[in-house]
C-alpha cells in the first residue's frame, strides 16, 4: 500500500517554440509520486518546476508543447480496480482529461488573488468544481462547500461562502483555494509555491493546515517551492531542478545533510540560516541563471560550478548516476 | 550596547503617520488609520538596523517617513550629518531637505518597477549626479563607470536598458544609483525579497562590502527573519504600527522577550529536516491598523495574554541594557529563541 505509484513522469520534454528560438523549459524530467506521499520540487525561477506541473495537468498554453515523454497516472476506481492513464496521449479538452483535472489531480497556486475569479463568490467557484465532478444537487454542493471551508479553518464559513475574493485577506484566499482544490477529494494535490506570497505567521498556519489535511484525506502532495526551509519541513523526498533538468533526487534528510550535486550544495550554503549569526559572508553562487535561449553546452551548471572539471563538464551532458535505490544525481563527479 | 554603537547616525523619536479615514458625501472624518504610531529607534553609525514585521505593519511607511517621501504626522527624525551636525529631517525646509537627501538614499524591493524602462543604465545612475549638479560631461561618464564597477557590473553595459539585465543585476543598478551621491545612510526596503536564492546571497554580500568600504549605515527593512539576522547589528520588530521589541541581533534571536517575536521566530521554516518542530501557530490574522484591538494590539493572538493586556497598552520599556520590549509580562515569561540550524 505504502509504495504504490500514483504518478510516473518519464523523460518529459516540454518545449516552447517562440520567435526567438526554442526554449527547453522541461528537458527530460523523470520522477514519480507515490500514493499518499509528499514529493518536493526545488529550484529557482525559470528552472521549469511550474511548467512540469502545468504539463502534468495539460494546462500548457501555446507556444508550449509536450514534445516527448510519458505521464502515467494510476487512476483507482471505487471498486479498487486500477487504470493507468497516459496523460500525454489525451486531448487536453477531452472528457477524461477534464475529469482527471480537479477530480483526481488538483492544484493550488502561489497568488490566490490572480487564480480566483474576482466576479464570482468563493462559494460559486467551489460549487462549480463539485457539481462538475460529483453527482450532487446545487444545494448539496453548497453544503459541501461550506463544510469544506470549515475544514480548512476558515472563520465563519457560512458567511464567507457568499463573499467575493477581494473581501478576504491573503491567508483566507489561500484557504479558499485549498478548499476548492480538495472539495472533490483528489488523490494528488500539486501545490505551486502556495505560501510564497504570505507572511511568515500565515505561512505557518497554511503549512500546518496542509499537513493536517494530508493526514485526514491521504492525498499525495507534489510541493513546488524555492524555499529550502519549507522543503525541509514539508516533504519526504525531493527533486532538485536546474535549467529544465532534474539534477538530484533524494530523501529529504539525505538531501540536506549530505547533498551531492554541486548546485544543491551551493544553494544550501548560500542561504542565511536562522540562529547562526556570524559576520562571515554568505557563499554566493557566482554568475547567474543562464538565459533559456542560451543554455550552456554540457552540464548547464558548469559555468557557475565550483567543482567544474575543464574538458569534461562542458563537453557532454552528465549522466544520471544512481547512488542507491531512491537516490540519483546528474553529475560527472560521481561516475 | 557595545562601544562601537554609541554614536547613532539617525535617531527616530516618536514618529507617527496617521491617515484620516473620510466617509460619506460630506467627507466626514471618522477616524485615523495609524500606520505608524509612535516609533522610536536609533541607527548606529556604520552599522545596520533591521526592521522586521509582517505586511501592513508600517515598516515601509516608517522608511518613507524618514526620507520625507511621505510626510510624517508627528515626531522627530534626527540625522547626524558628518559636516553639519544634527538635522531634524521632519522639520527641514526644502533646502535642508535637499542636503539631507544627498546623504540619505533608498533602495527598493522590485528593481524593475523602481526604474524607468525608457532610460538607459547610464541615465538612471547619472540622474542623481546631474540633478544635484555634482558632475557633468566626461567626469559624469567616469563616475558612472566607477559606480557600476563598484557594484560588480561591466561599465561597457551602461548604454543598455534595464530590460537587458536580470533581476539581480537590476538590483545592482539600483544600488549603484543610490550610491551615486556617496550617501552616509541607506534605507533598503526589502532589497532582496524579489530575488532568487542564489542571487540573494550575492546582493547581501555586495551590501555588506559597500558598508565596509564606505562606512555606510543601513536601515534594512524586511519580512525575512533569516536575512535580517544575517545583516543586522540591531533588530526592531514592528506590529501594527508600533515597535514590539528591539535589541541587538543575537540577544533578540536567542532571548526574545515579546510573545510576538517568539511566534515569528518559531514560524520561519527551518532548512533542517531533523529539527523537531514545536512551532507556535498564531490564531487569526494581523489586525488592520484602521480598527486595532484595545490594549496591547497583539493580545487577541497571544498565548500568554492576561486580562490587563486587553485594557492597557504596554509601553516600550528597557528590560535589560539595550533591550526594549512592549509587553506587560516581559519579566515573567520565559520565551523560546531560535534553535540553530545544523546544516
Q: Is residue B220 within 8 Å of B204, Cβ to Cβ?
A: no
Distance CA B260, CA A201 (A): 10
Minimal-distance CA residue of chain B relative to A208 = B281
Distance CA B189, CA B168 (A): 15
Q: Residue B7: is it exposed, middle or buried by C-beta count within 10 angstroms (0-12/13-18/19+)?
A: exposed
Chain A neighbors of B244, CB-CB under 8 A = none
The answer to which of A288-292, B72-76, B100-104, B217-221 has the lowest mean pLDDT is A288-292
Going by the DSSP 8-state scheme, the letter that residue A319 receives in this structure is P
Minimal-distance CA residue of chain A relative to B208 = A281
Q: Where in chain A is the domain with CATH 3.40.50.300?
A: 1-104+189-202+215-288+315-335
Chain A neighbors of B253, CB-CB under 8 A = 274-275, 277
Sign of the CA dihedral running B172, B178, B181, B185: negative
Q: What is the pLDDT of residue B123?
A: 95
Domain regions of chain B by residue span: 3-239, 256-343
Angle at A95 between CA A93 and CA A98, to 5 degrees: 65
> What is the count of residue pairs from A and B with beta carbons less than 8 Å apart?
144
Banded model confidence at residue A289, pLDDT cuts 50, 70, 90: confident
Is B137 within 8 Å of chain A by CB? no
Q: Is the pLDDT of residue B3 over 60?
A: no
Residues 24-83 of B with CB under 8 A from A: 54-55
Nearest to B55 among A199, A252, A267 (CB): A199
Q: Which CATH number fits domain A1-104+189-202+215-288+315-335: 1.20.1250.20, 3.40.50.300, 3.40.630.30, 3.10.20.30?
A: 3.40.50.300
Nearest to A283 among B196, B201, B263 (CB): B201
Q: Is the pLDDT of residue B263 over 50?
A: yes
Region A155-164: what's the mean pLDDT? 93
Q: Is residue B218 within 8 Å of B48, Cβ to Cβ?
A: yes
Q: Hey, of A200, A211, A279, A292, which one would you mutate to test binding to chain B, going by the most B CBs within 10 A of its CB?
A: A200
Nearest to A169 among B169, B225, B285 (CB): B285
Distance of residue A202 Cα from the nearest chain B Cα, in angstroms? 7
A220-225 and A38-42 beta bridge pairing:
parallel
Chain A neighbors of B165, CB-CB under 8 A = none
Going by the DSSP 8-state scheme, the letter that residue B331 receives in this structure is T
Minimal-distance CA residue of chain B relative to A255 = B273
**A201 with B54: Cβ contact below 8 A:** yes
Please count the CA atoms within 13 angstroms of the CA of A51 that sit on its side-chain side.
Answer: 29
Banded model confidence at residue B339, pLDDT cuts 50, 70, 90: confident
A82-86 and A64-76 beta bridge pairing:
antiparallel
Q: Hey, of B109, B112, B154, B201, which one would you mutate to test binding to chain A, going by the most A CBs within 10 A of its CB?
A: B201
Q: What is the ipTM, given to two decimal places?
A: 0.85
Region B136-151: what's the mean pLDDT? 92
Is B271 within 8 Å of chain A by CB? yes
Chain A neighbors of B298, CB-CB under 8 A = none
Banded model confidence at residue B193, pLDDT cuts 50, 70, 90: confident
This prediction has a pTM of: 0.89
**B341 with A274: Cβ contact below 8 A:** yes
Span B3-239: which CATH code? Answer: 3.40.50.300
Amino acid at each position: 500500500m505504502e509504495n504504490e505509484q500514483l504518478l510516473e513522469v518519464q523523460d518529459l520534454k516540454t518545449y516552447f517554440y517562440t520567435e526567438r528560438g526554442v526554449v527547453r523549459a522541461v528537458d527530460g524530467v523523470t520522477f514519480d509520486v507515490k500514493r499518499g506521499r509528499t514529493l518536493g520540487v526545488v529550484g529557482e525561477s525559470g528552472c521549469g518546476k511550474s511548467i512540469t506541473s502545468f504539463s502534468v495537468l495539460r494546462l500548457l498554453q501555446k507556444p508550449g508543447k509536450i514534445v516527448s515523454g510519458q505521464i502515467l497516472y494510476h487512476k483507482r476506481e471505487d471498486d479498487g480496480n486500477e487504470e493507468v492513464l497516459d496523460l500525454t496521449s489525451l486531448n487536453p479538452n477531452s472528457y477524461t482529461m477534464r475529469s482527471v483535472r480537479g477530480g483526481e489531480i488538483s492544484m493550488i497556486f502561489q497568488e490566490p488573488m490572480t487564480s480566483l475569479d474576482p466576479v464570482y463568490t468563493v462559494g460559486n467557484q467551489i460549487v462549480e468544481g463539485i457539481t462538475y465532478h460529483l453527482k450532487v444537487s446545487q444545494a448539496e454542493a453548497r453544503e459541501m462547500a461550506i463544510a469544506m471551508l470549515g475544514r480548512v479553518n476558515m472563520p465563519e464559513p457560512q458567511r464567507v461562502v457568499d463573499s467575493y475574493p477581494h473581501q478576504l485577506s491573503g491567508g483566507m484566499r489561500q484557504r479558499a483555494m485549498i478548499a476548492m482544490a480538495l472539495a472533490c477529494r483528489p488523490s494528488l494535490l500539486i501545490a505551486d509555491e502556495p505560501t510564497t506570497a504570505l507572511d511568515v505567521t500565515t505561512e505557518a498556519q497554511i503549512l500546518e493546515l496542509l499537513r493536517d489535511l494530508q493526514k485526514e484525506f491521504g492525498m499525495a502532495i507534489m510541493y513546488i517551492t524555492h524555499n529550502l526551509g519549507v522543503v525541509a519541513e514539508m516533504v519526504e523526498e525531493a527533486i532538485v531542478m536546474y535549467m529544465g533538468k532534474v539534477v538530484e533526487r533524494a530523501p529529504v534528510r539525505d538531501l540536506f545533510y549530505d547533498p551531492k550535486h554541486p548546485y544543491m550544495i551551493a544553494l544550501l550554503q548560500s542561504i542565511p540560516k536562522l540562529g547562526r549569526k556570524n559576520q562571515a559572508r554568505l557563499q554566493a553562487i557566482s554568475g547567474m541563471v543562464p538565459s533559456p535561449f542560451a543554455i550552456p553546452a554540457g552540464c548547464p551548471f558548469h559555468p557557475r560550478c565550483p567543482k567544474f572539471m575543464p574538458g569534461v563538464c562542458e563537453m557532454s551532458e552528465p549522466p544520471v548516476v544512481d547512488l542507491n535505490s531512491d537516490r540519483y544525481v546528474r553529475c560527472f563527479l560521481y561516475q | 550596547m557595545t562601544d562601537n554603537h554609541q554614536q547613532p547616525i539617525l535617531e527616530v523619536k516618536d514618529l507617527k503617520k496617521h491617515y484620516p479615514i473620510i466617509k460619506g458625501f460630506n467627507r466626514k472624518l471618522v477616524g485615523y488609520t495609524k500606520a505608524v504610531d509612535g516609533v522610536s529607534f536609533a541607527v548606529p553609525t556604520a552599522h545596520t538596523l533591521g526592521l522586521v514585521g509582517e505586511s501592513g505593519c508600517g515598516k515601509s511607511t516608517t522608511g518613507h517617513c524618514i526620507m520625507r517621501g511621505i510626510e510624517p504626522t508627528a515626531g522627530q527624525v534626527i540625522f547626524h550629518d558628518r559636516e553639519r551636525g544634527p538635522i531634524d529631517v521632519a522639520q527641514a525646509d526644502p533646502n535642508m531637505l535637499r542636503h539631507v537627501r544627498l546623504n540619505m538614499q533608498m533602495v527598493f524591493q522590485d528593481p524593475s518597477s523602481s526604474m524607468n524602462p525608457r532610460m538607459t543604465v547610464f541615465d538612471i545612475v547619472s540622474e542623481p549626479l546631474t540633478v544635484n549638479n555634482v558632475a557633468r560631461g566626461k567626469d559624469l561618464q567616469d563616475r558612472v563607470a566607477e559606480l557600476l564597477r563598484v557594484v560588480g557590473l561591466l561599465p561597457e553595459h551602461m548604454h543598455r536598458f534595464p530590460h537587458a539585465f536580470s533581476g539581480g543585476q537590476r538590483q545592482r543598478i539600483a544600488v549603484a544609483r543610490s550610491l551615486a551621491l556617496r550617501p552616509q545612510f541607506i534605507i533598503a526596503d526589502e532589497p532582496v525579497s524579489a530575488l532568487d536564492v542564489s542571487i540573494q546571497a550575492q546582493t547581501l554580500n555586495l551590501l555588506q562590502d559597500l558598508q565596509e568600504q564606505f562606512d555606510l549605515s543601513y536601515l534594512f527593512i524586511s519580512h525575512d527573519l533569516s536575512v535580517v539576522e544575517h545583516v543586522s547589528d540591531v533588530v526592531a520588530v514592528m506590529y501594527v504600527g508600533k515597535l514590539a521589541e528591539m535589541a541587538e541581533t543575537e540577544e533578540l534571536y536567542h532571548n526574545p522577550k515579546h510573545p510576538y517575536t517568539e511566534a515569528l521566530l518559531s514560524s520561519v521554516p527551518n532548512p533542517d529536516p531533523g529539527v523537531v518542530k514545536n512551532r507556535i501557530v498564531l490564531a487569526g490574522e494581523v489586525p488592520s491598523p484602521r480598527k486595532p484591538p484595545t490594549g496591547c494590539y497583539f493580545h487577541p493572538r497571544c498565548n500568554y495574554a492576561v486580562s490587563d493586556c486587553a485594557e492597557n497598552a504596554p509601553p516600550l520599556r528597557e528590560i535589560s541594557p539595550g533591550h526594549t520590549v512592549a509587553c506587560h509580562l516581559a519579566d515573567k515569561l520565559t520565551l523560546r529563541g531560535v534553535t540553530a540550524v545544523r546544516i
